[in-house]
Structure 1
């Protein structure tokens, strides 16, 4: 059995993808009820990033979905004022430092969204999350944001999940943690955890349902292109195989073929679609997405996130400029981007990206959240 880091490929638990059993109404209702706002009728949501790096989809999608719902006050937060570098692409501005947030909301947030950050054990971020948890906030670890929750000591005796790549290490570090397989997101007390990057969409819709009810979540899901946001998932379908291992080595080695891709941005751009497209194009190991605006002034996205452009149009010298992101549902934009990557590079590269973000691809679009 070959290994890579903490991952076996194929893992012992790998099995042929199966037809997913639906989540019972009782289980879904109990999960949603456990995420009801703990303090305010109109909750305050802090999306915490590290200034040096926060995963773009983990950070932007919950921000965009919850802000777009109109049900909560959503605030991008970082240890320091200024820019938050998003990985693997783009940058945004924090609306508050952790100190400023604490002055504005001494009773703490209702929800704290924790994406994957560059240093998962950053003491400033970890301490702040511990303080927010002690004040009664619901802490939501998106994808590898679970590593920061682990560093904060929030997994002792809890049921949880995480990105497929991180499960083995998290279980090693937290022997009393119970890994819940075949669930896209798991709630235990005031701690919520999710599987890989693309789980940011269903958990965000689940939070909308918890805050504002089923009807509002259904309406918003239709805008995103999702028909279901319950927790069903096939954990056995995601693991590193030899083809994926070879693709990342091959693409990384093709230095002469690496490309810088411009993504046009302007005020009002859909930040959810932008995050998904920039993320997948920057995971090919052959390309990186950069934002391209008329000048370097901050661009305000549809839901109020302040994007910091990488290049002004007149100064850019890029390999490729992508078509402007249209008003298509974000999940449609994600599927289009993966298909374009398949055509421009190859199918193996697109499949490797889908594995990285734990996204079942290709498949009928309407089933994407059900998986």
Structure 2
């Protein structure tokens, strides 16, 4: 989900709670079926598209890392233009190729295109590129509010789909030709996959691993992550914005004298999923902003993601550690526990709500 902006803190006071919509589910929408790899390739080519001006942190990093960890595909991060990609609400990375360079190198297109949520979900360059890739028979996977881009590319008309709880009613109203489903963490319908909120990126990525390489490979990858299952089962009803939540957003945001910067030192080989989940969560409290620090400039993660640190040192900031010991996916639970101790359970619950995660 795109991070609530300053203006939205005020607008939220007028936003009604999410109303119920269709929850009838076709028998196969939770099963992912992928076509054969395009001719001339030994294994699938996955392109994760990124808007340099703002792409959701976890939506991008989790699929990248899970697919790399499983070693079931060639994974490339593709940006609109050269230069850094600013992630939201935290971190900055370097993409592997621009759209122009990718198209020149791969005229037949990708096998799978992953579309994270973006700050500008109406960016015509991204929409046109995703539509173009779909026209070349790429499977399109939208994570969270990446569904806006898939919908605007015309890929969801006549299909079943889902998205983040906060956007659900609005996107359903804007695109009535789509059958919008609740109570499904991810939905697959004829070559297009959509997911619910930010943390759905982990089970959705594991579902892709299973579709690409089988159940055993997915189980082995899930075990490394510390994940027990990746089914599409999901209960949507608990995720809604209450008056208490709106009041808490306003209170935390307006208590500017309590705001703080939290530094996460990183070095080559860092756990990109643990970093993404931690930095993403800490930057949604309305009291804190997480940054990455390193004295050596750009830093490469364990699977080759190039991170551009926000600062060389963490002088004058509160320092955090990733503490990755029992599986990357547990980083969020650890972060929310630390957050509750620092800011209270209510703030931790607010962050979990934004991430569409059951704390």
TM-score (normalised: structure 2): 0.92
Residue equivalent to 1:303: 303
For residues 320 and 6 of structure 1, the distance between their equivalents in structure 2, rounded to whole angstroms, comes to 35
Distance 1:130 1:311, change over 3 A: same
Residue equivalent to 1:18: none
Alignment of 1:152-191 (within 5 A): 152-191=153-192
Alignment of 1:13 onto 2:12: no
Residue equivalent to 2:50: 49
Contact 1:161 1:167 in 2 (8 A): yes
Distance 1:188 1:178, change over 3 A: same
Alignment of 1:1-371 (within 5 A): 4=12, 7-9=15-17, 11-13=18-20, 27=28, 31-32=31-32, 34-39=33-38, 40-295=41-296, 297-313=297-313, 316-361=314-359
CA distances 1:140-176 after superposition (whole Å, capped 9, x unpaired):
1100111111221212111000000111111111111
1:311, CA displacement in angstroms? 1.0
For residues 252 and 258 of structure 1, the distance between their equivalents in structure 2, rounded to whole angstroms, comes to 8
Contact 1:36 1:210 in 2 (8 A): no
For residues 14 and 216 of structure 2, the distance between their equivalents in structure 1, rounded to whole angstroms, comes to 42
Contact 1:54 1:85 in 2 (8 A): yes
Q: Secondary structure at the match of 1:310?
A: coil
CA distances 1:37-65 after superposition (whole Å, capped 9, x unpaired):
55355100011110011000000000000
Q: Secondary structure at the match of 1:77?
A: strand
Residue equivalent to 2:6: none
For residues 55 and 277 of structure 2, the distance between their equivalents in structure 1, rounded to whole angstroms, comes to 14
1:358, CA displacement in angstroms? 0.3
Contact 1:299 1:309 in 2 (8 A): yes
Cα RMSD of the aligned pairs, angstroms, is 1.9
1:182, CA displacement in angstroms? 0.8
CA distances 1:254-306 after superposition (whole Å, capped 9, x unpaired):
111111000010000010111000000000001001001123x2100011000
CA distances 1:298-332 after superposition (whole Å, capped 9, x unpaired):
1000110000011112xx43330012443331221
Residue equivalent to 1:366: none
Contact 2:58 2:199 in 1 (8 A): yes
Contact 1:48 1:78 in 2 (8 A): yes
Distance 1:37 1:236, change over 3 A: farther
For residues 182 and 199 of structure 1, the distance between their equivalents in structure 2, rounded to whole angstroms, comes to 12
For residues 219 and 14 of structure 2, the distance between their equivalents in structure 1, rounded to whole angstroms, comes to 38
Distance 1:6 1:200, change over 3 A: farther
Contact 2:183 2:236 in 1 (8 A): yes
For residues 289 and 318 of structure 1, the distance between their equivalents in structure 2, rounded to whole angstroms, comes to 13
For residues 158 and 171 of structure 2, the distance between their equivalents in structure 1, rounded to whole angstroms, comes to 13
Contact 2:265 2:293 in 1 (8 A): yes
Q: Secondary structure at the match of 1:187?
A: strand
Q: Secondary structure at the match of 2:289?
A: strand
Distance 1:81 1:327, change over 3 A: farther
Contact 1:47 1:112 in 2 (8 A): yes
For residues 287 and 335 of structure 1, the distance between their equivalents in structure 2, rounded to whole angstroms, comes to 18
CA distances 1:82-128 after superposition (whole Å, capped 9, x unpaired):
21000000100011000100111110001111001111011111110
1:27, CA displacement in angstroms? 4.4
TM-score (normalised: structure 1): 0.89
Q: Secondary structure at the match of 2:16?
A: strand
Give ranges in structure 1 of 5+ residues lacking alignment. Answer: 15-22, 362-371
Give ranges in structure 2 of 5+ residues lacking alignment. Answer: 1-10
Contact 2:339 2:347 in 1 (8 A): yes
